[in-house]
């Protein structure tokens, strides 16, 4: 008991201080808040070198890659590097049995071998600006949530329009500190981005899901692309006439290596954090939502892994689905563990108690903030239930691993079009073509026994875990006709639905007309899907959204109050997929009693992990030869090759592919993951154990140069030896 109180007190003090690594800072405000500390830690450049609108700066070399990753330029000819797992969809889309780039890797040996990628975009920030005053113009405290939202949206629309008028740029206004501050972002988006190189999965995904979220790590998680522009160096759709983009800046690459304690900076696009959430939020996630989501995904993975282990074909079919189910599943487990070990709920409760004391010591504050904590408590009591049901239903109707039930949603747009009497036939044929492509892909990657078993197991869990008020209408039928036996019911669904047959489904698509609606409505797989979606739309979302609105508004007031209460502290805004700077140093950590991790791994570790019986630990023959011959060239370090390293930079999902830079702004690595003991950093950063993981740039160059013999690519890079 005593010990616990003491620990909590220490934790509170720790949490309140500013310490190494924590924080994701706005590039525009580095000069104001961070540059002195960065210099003290060894950074040699200026804030203007990071972000400037007057001269070329680092920001001109960093981009959003695709929809959820970061990438960076490494040559003046538009060459960029990001993670293998970020380029995975593109690498996969070019792969076939004859050209299996996932298994064998891909290297363009000249410009005309580079592969275009439909739909892939990269986004550069041109400038950002604080537009809070304009966004909140006319917004008053007595407005209700909907009035407030409407006024803000109107102001934002105007700001965005003005910002990009007469340019080819796009504008975006994002909220910070829960609506207490707003920034405008003006972006330039390129859409001709070609695949240049990718190592085989046995390098780019070495360690697979076994090693995911852990350290020590040996994954060569990188891939190379090139941005093309028109003759004026402006964005253009793919064309053979396009030329390599000539950027204002690209990162030099350092071969000088790293030492523990060296300054590091990560410059990229972190997606989502909730560092200021109240204790109730943490309690909801750690004790209520995450454990149940972990269970449901464990059940899915158990079925999937069994079928995948038994059949090579199934393993290929489900590789990417498995990775996406397993990634969040494993992170949730790490977060639950980390939050408990750090005692985050008690720490936050103690903080909230002090906050309330501060509030109650002034009448003015009492009037303004007196109900915040109790309001949170009330809202979360209700919100948690709706959030659970929402997330649980999503595990079903989201379709991951049980696609036959959900494939009918591919017909929703056609359904809607036919419901609209003046539908035009051109739109319909475009949608049909798109749907056909999706269906082909669906059947290519479908193993029916796996799919059916998952549909059964997950439906059983759904009934055990959500309150009966949210049971779908179909329940009555299941109870009456099948005496509640889910397995019998699902057997019958799969026996009767035409969606199990590729031929029947494609025929249904191609002959789709107003009469098809009836056929769809009488299909048992569609009936189940529809029944669950109805609960979701009608019984869950309206109330969920209402509670979420109330939380949004409470969060805004709480955040503003915290900034007054804790006025010594510099608050960094939660991640929202805008460009941020994180800085810290190269550092290992203590993982537990007697376990101390070094900050770097080497090729020796790959050879130690090698296991021909475990897919995740296959090592390609050529890499073994290079290792045996010690053919390391200039990438060698103490008789081996450095592979990955950890540092104290605060990162999250979206930071994958981010440049990790040394004190001189040179590229030393590419960020790709975080270490197990510290993954709760989205909710609370632990300076002792929260670590980002990067591939050492020397390993990437070694693979390009020695493994792939694509050394010609190095000629266009700026390499600092």
Give the chain's radius of gyration (CA, Å): 27
| Helix, coil or strand: residue 124 | strand
Q: Which does 651 bind (CB under 5 to 8 A by kind): ligand ASP, ligand ARG, none?
A: ligand ASP
Q: Is 221 a catalytic residue?
A: yes
Query: Residue 654 binds which entry of ligand ASP, ligand ARG, none, with Cβ cut-offs from 5 to 8 Å by kind?
Result: ligand ASP
Residue 652 binds which of ligand ARG, ligand ASP, none (CB < 5-8 A, kind-dependent): ligand ASP
Nearer to ligand ARG, 84 or 627 (CB): 84
- For 288, counting Cβ atoms within 10 Å of its Cβ (0-12 exposed, 13-18 middle, 19+ buried), the class is middle
Residue 213 binds which one of ligand ARG, ligand ASP, none, with CB within 5 to 8 A depending on kind?
ligand ARG
Is the CB of 219 or the CB of 347 nearer to ligand ASP?
219
> Is there a catalytic annotation at residue 501?
no
* Residue 561 interacting partner from ligand ASP, ligand ARG, none (CB closer than 5 to 8 Å by kind): none
As measured in angstroms, the least distance from the Cβ of 289 to ligand ASP is: 19
Q: Are 571 and 436 in contact (CB under 8 A)?
A: no
CA distances from 463 to 392, 460, 485, 533 (A): 10, 5, 11, 15
316 binding partner (options ligand ASP, ligand ARG, none; Cβ < 5 to 8 Å by kind): none
Residues 6+ apart with CB under 8 A from 548: 383
**Would you say 49 or 335 has its CB closer to ligand ASP?**
335
CB of 382 or CB of 688, closer to ligand ASP: 688
DSSP for residue 167: S
Between helices 344-360 and 312-341, what is the axis angle to 10°?
Answer: 40
Cβ 313 to ligand ARG shortest distance, Å: 20
What the block records as the tokens of 192 is: 């001709």
Burial profile 30-43: b = 16 or more Cβ within 10 angstroms, e = fewer:
beebbbeebeebeb
- Work out how close the CB of 88 gets to ligand ARG at its nearest, in angstroms, rounded to a whole number: 8
- How many angstroms separate the CA atoms of 345 and 486, rounded? 38
Q: Nearer Cβ to ligand ASP, position 65 or 512?
A: 65
* Interface residues toward ligand ASP, by CB under 6 A: 651-656, 672-674
| Residue 346 contact among ligand ASP, ligand ARG, none, beta carbon within 5 to 8 Å by kind | none
CB of 616 to ligand ASP, least distance (A): 16
- Minimum Å gap between C-beta 324 and ligand ARG is 7
> Judged by CB, which is closer to ligand ASP: 72, or 673?
673
Q: Is 82 exposed, middle or buried (0-12, 13-18, 19+ CB in 10 A)?
A: buried
To which residue do tokens 């003090």 refer?
Answer: 13
Tell me the C-alpha distance between 28 and 25, whole Å: 9
Choose, by CB under 6 A, the member of 155, 214, 656, 690 that binds ligand ARG: 656
| Chain residues 327-346 in contact with ligand ARG, contact rule CB under 6 A | 327
Among ligand ASP, ligand ARG, none, the one that 404 touches (CB under a kind-dependent 5 to 8 A) is none
Say which residues have a Cβ less than 8 Å from residue 604's Cβ, sequence separation at least 6. Answer: 640
What is the phi/psi pair of residue 558, to 5°? -65, -45
Question: Could you tell me which of 328, 275, 267 has the C-alpha nearest to residue 558?
Answer: 275
- Catalytic residue (one of 656, 658, 690, 694): 656
Contacts of 25 (CB under 8 A, 6+ apart): 33, 34, 572, 580, 581, 582, 583
Query: Measured from the CB of residue 198, what is the shortest distance to ligand ARG in angstroms?
Result: 14
Single out the residue of 143, 255, 316, 323 in contact with ligand ARG (rule: CB under 6 A): 323
CB of 178 to ligand ARG, least distance (A): 25
Give the Cα-Cα-Cα angle 19, 581, 665 (nearest 5 degrees): 105
Binding residues among 56-95 for ligand ARG as defined by CB under 6 A: 85
Among 211, 221, 262, 585, the one annotated catalytic: 221
Taking the mean position of all CA atoms in its chain, how far away is CA 326?
13
Smallest distance, ligand ASP to C-beta of residue 212, A: 8
Q: Is the peptide bond before 216 cis (omega within 30 degrees of 0)?
A: yes
Closer Cβ to ligand ASP, 209 or 673, answer by number: 673
Q: Does 694 bind ligand ARG (CB under 6 A)?
A: no
Three-state DSSP class for 637?
strand
Angle between helices 448-465 and 372-397 (to 10 degrees): 150
Query: Which residue's beta carbon is nearest to the bound ligand ASP?
Result: 656
Residue closer to ligand ARG, measured from CB, 24 or 108: 24
Neighbours of 528 (CB within 10 A): 26
Q: Pick one of ligand ARG, ligand ASP, none as the site partner of residue 209 (Cβ within 5 to 8 A by kind).
A: ligand ARG
Are the CB atoms for 407 and 309 separated by under 8 Å? no
CA 575 to chain centre: 12
Of 192 and 673, the one with the shorter C-beta distance to ligand ASP is 673
One residue of 209, 451, 585, 677 binding ligand ARG per CB under 6 A: 209
Residue 208 interacts with ligand ARG (CB under 6 A): yes or no: yes
Question: What are the beta bridge partners of residue 265?
Answer: 583, 661
Question: Is 715 labeled as catalytic in the residue annotation?
Answer: no
- Least CB distance from residue 33 to ligand ASP, whole Å? 23
Could you report how far apart the first and last alpha carbons of the chain are, in Å? 56
Question: How remote is the C-alpha of 406 from its chain's centroid?
Answer: 24
- Given the residues 49, 57, 60, 85, select the one marked as catalytic: 85
In the complex, least distance from residue 665 CB atom to ligand ARG, rounded to whole angstroms: 25
Which of 204, 584, 653, 665 is close enough to bind ligand ARG by CB under 6 A? 653
C-alpha to C-alpha distance for 470 and 467, rounded to whole angstroms: 6
Tabulate helix, strand, coil % of the chain (nearest 5).
55, 15, 30
Binding segment for ligand ARG among 163-171, 209-217, 347-355, 510-518 (CB under 6 A)? 209-217
Q: Does 213 bind ligand ARG (CB under 6 A)?
A: yes
Please identify every residue annotated as catalytic. 85, 221, 656
Interacting residues with ligand ARG (CB under 6 A): 85, 208-209, 212-213, 323, 327, 653, 656, 673
């Amino acid at each position: 008991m005593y010990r616990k109180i003491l620990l909590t007190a220490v934790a509170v003090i720790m949490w309140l201080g500013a310490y190494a690594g924590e924080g994701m800072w706005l590039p525009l405000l580095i000069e104001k808040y961070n540059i002195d500390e960065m210099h003290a830690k060894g950074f040699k450049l200026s804030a203007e070198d990071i972000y400037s609108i007057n001269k070329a700066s680092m920001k001109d070399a960093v981009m959003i890659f695709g929809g959820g990753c970061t990438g960076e330029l490494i040559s003046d000819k538009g060459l960029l590097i990001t993670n293998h797992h970020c380029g995975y969809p593109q690498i996969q889309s070019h792969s076939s049995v004859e050209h299996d780039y996932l298994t064998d890797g891909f290297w363009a040996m000249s410009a005309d071998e580079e592969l275009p990628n439909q739909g892939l975009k990269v986004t550069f920030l041109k400038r950002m600006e604080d537009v809070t005053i304009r966004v909140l113009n006319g917004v008053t405290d007595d407005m209700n949530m909907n009035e407030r939202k409407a006024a803000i949206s109107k102001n934002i629309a105007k700001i965005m329009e003005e910002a990009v008028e007469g340019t080819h740029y796009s504008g975006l206004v994002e909220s910070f500190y829960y609506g207490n501050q707003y920034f405008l972002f003006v972006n330039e988006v390129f859409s001709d981005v070609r695949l240049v190189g990718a190592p085989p999965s046995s390098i780019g995904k070495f360690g697979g899901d076994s090693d995911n979220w852990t350290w020590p790590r040996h994954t060569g998680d990188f891939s190379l692309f090139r941005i093309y522009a028109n003759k004026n160096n402006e964005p253009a759709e793919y064309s053979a006439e396009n030329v390599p983009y000539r950027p204002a800046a690209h990162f030099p690459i350092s071969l000088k290596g790293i030492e523990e304690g060296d300054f590091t900076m990560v410059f990229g696009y972190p997606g989502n954090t909730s560092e200021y959430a109240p204790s109730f939020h943490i309690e909801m996630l750690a004790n209520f939502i995450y454990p149940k989501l972990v269970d449901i995904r464990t059940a899915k993975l158990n079925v999937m892994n069994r079928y995948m282990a038994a059949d090579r074909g199934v393993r290929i079919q489900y590789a990417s689905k498995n990775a996406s189910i397993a990634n969040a599943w494993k992170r949730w487990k790490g977060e639950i563990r980390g939050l408990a070990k750090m005692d985050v709920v008690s720490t936050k409760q103690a903080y909230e108690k002090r906050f309330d004391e501060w509030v109650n010591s002034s009448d003015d504050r009492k009037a303004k903030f007196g109900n915040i904590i109790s309001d949170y408590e009330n809202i979360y009591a209700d919100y948690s239930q709706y959030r659970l049901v929402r997330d649980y239903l999503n595990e079903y109707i989201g379709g991951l691993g049980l696609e036959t039930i959900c494939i009918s949603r591919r017909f929703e747009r056609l359904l809607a079009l036919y419901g609209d009497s003046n539908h035009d036939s051109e739109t319909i044929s475009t949608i049909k073509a798109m749907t056909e492509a999706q269906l082909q892909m669906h059947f290519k990657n479908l193993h029916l026994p796996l799919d059916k078993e998952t549909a059964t197991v997950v439906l059983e869990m759904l009934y055990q875990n959500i309150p009966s008020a949210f049971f779908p209408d179909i329940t009555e039928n299941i109870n009456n006709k099948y005496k509640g036996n889910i397995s019998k019911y699902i057997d019958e669904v799969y026996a009767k639905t035409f969606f199990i047959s590729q031929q029947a489904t494609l025929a249904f698509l191609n002959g789709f007309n107003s009469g098809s609606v009836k056929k769809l409505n009488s299909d048992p797989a569609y009936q189940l899907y529809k029944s669950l979606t109805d609960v979701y739309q009608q019984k869950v979302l309206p109330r969920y959204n209402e509670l979420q609105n109330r939380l949004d508004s409470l969060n805004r007031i709480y955040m503003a109050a915290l900034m007054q209460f804790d006025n010594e502290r510099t608050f960094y805004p939660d991640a929202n997929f805008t460009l941020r700077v994180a800085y810290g140093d190269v550092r290992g950590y203590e993982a537990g009693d007697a376990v101390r991790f070094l900050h770097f791994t080497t090729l020796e570790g790959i050879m130690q992990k090698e296991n021909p019986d475990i897919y995740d630990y296959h090592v390609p023959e050529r890499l073994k030869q290079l290792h045996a011959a010690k053919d390391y060239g200039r990438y060698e370090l103490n008789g081996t090759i450095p592979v990955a390293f950890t540092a104290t930079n605060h990162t999250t999902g979206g930071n994958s592919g981010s440049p990790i830079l040394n004190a001189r702004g040179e590229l030393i690595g590419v960020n790709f993951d975080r270490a197990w003991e510290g993954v709760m950093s989205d909710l609370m950063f632990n300076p002792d154990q929260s670590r980002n993981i990067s591939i050492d740039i020397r390993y990437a160059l070694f693979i390009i140069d020695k493994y792939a013999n694509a050394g010609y690519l190095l000629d266009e890079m700026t390499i600092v030896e």
